[in-house]
Amino acid sequence: MRRFGIQWLALILLISGITGVLAVFSQKTPLKEKNGTSAKSAAEELKLLYHLGQKEISSPTKVTVKLQGERDLFSEQELDESARQLAQEMGLTTVRMEEDQEGKTYRARATVKGVSIRMDWVLAGNRSYAKIQLDASGEDRLSHMLELQEKGWNSMLNAGVTPEWNAAVQGNVSYEAPAVKTADFLEQSLDETLPLEMADSYEDTTTVSRSYHVPSLAFDARSGSESIHMQVAVHEDSMKKNNRITIGFPVITVEY
């Protein structure tokens, strides 16, 4: 599979409108699949990630899935048609086009059966980049998330975009220990389900982020010559008296 560099990761953040994430991964090459993994592997890993969230996080969990990929430059008319077709296949009826000196962006938003669906397609220079993002909270959303994830995967392929996959679960636990202690407990618990080896870590006064090798997982990101399969972050919120836990496969691309 093709690999995308730092420019691709920066564009993910641009079209997501997210700042302050990927602190640990800002110098890493992006996501890839192993051994031809596909929508089926993504479905299995989303199920696993969801159940890990249920096990490790006491509050209702938020689940985020992102499918993103690039396509060679094509005519503006074809870009318009492809973006609108992708939106339609995802059940998004209204597409907004924004244009500035950097290029064009097509955006569409909707909520279907409790799942927020966001589509962005950006034309930047001689490349175009597409992203579908799914967000949901609550215990009864997994089946619909899985359906939309498969639909998004196939729709992107139909549009000539080979999707890269990442997902995250996020929620709170009661404030019983500093972030670093919570991260230690979480690591021990996760290791019982997924044998893992720490690859990298980051820590400040309120946040701990750790990345791991987990060879049993199908998707990874590259850090030099190393493979990263899972990232865990704990953010300590002393005002709310809780710790926010985020678990991402293979990396976290949401704010934590």
195 upstream amide cis, omega within 30 of 0: no
Q: Work out the pLDDT band at 230, boundaries 50, 70, 90.
A: very high
Neighbours of 75 (CB within 10 A): 8
Question: In terms of Cα–Cα distance, which of 8, 142, 158 is closest to 87?
Answer: 158
Identity of the highest mean pLDDT range in 11-25, 62-76, 150-164: 150-164
pLDDT of residue 186: 96
In tens, the pLDDT along 169-197 reads: 999 998 778 999 999 999 999 999 999 99
Asked if residue 46 has pLDDT above 70, the reply is yes
pLDDT of 224 reads 74
Model confidence at 28, in pLDDT bands (50, 70, 90)?
Answer: very low
Average pLDDT, the chain: 85
pLDDT over 70 percentage in the chain: 85
Q: Is 188 exposed, middle or buried (0-12, 13-18, 19+ CB in 10 A)?
A: exposed
Q: Tell me the pLDDT tens digit for each residue of 98-123.
A: 998 778 999 999 999 899 999 999 99
Per-residue confidence band for 67, with pLDDT thresholds at 50, 70 and 90 = very high
Closest CA to 234 of 199, 192, 206, 197: 206
Ramachandran angles phi, psi of 222, nearest 5°: -105, 135
Burial group, residue 217, by CB count within 10 angstroms (0-12, 13-18, 19+): buried
List the structure tokens of 39. Answer: 């929508």
Of the two residues 158 and 13, the one the predictor is more confident about is: 158
Which residue did the predictor score with more confidence, 230 or 137? Answer: 230
pTM: 0.86
Model confidence at 238, pLDDT cuts 50, 70, 90, reads confident
pLDDT of residue 37: 57
Tens digits of residue pLDDT in 201-219: 999 999 999 999 999 999 9
**Predicted confidence band at 30 (pLDDT cuts at 50, 70, 90)?**
very low
- End-to-end, the C-alpha distance of the chain in Å comes to 29
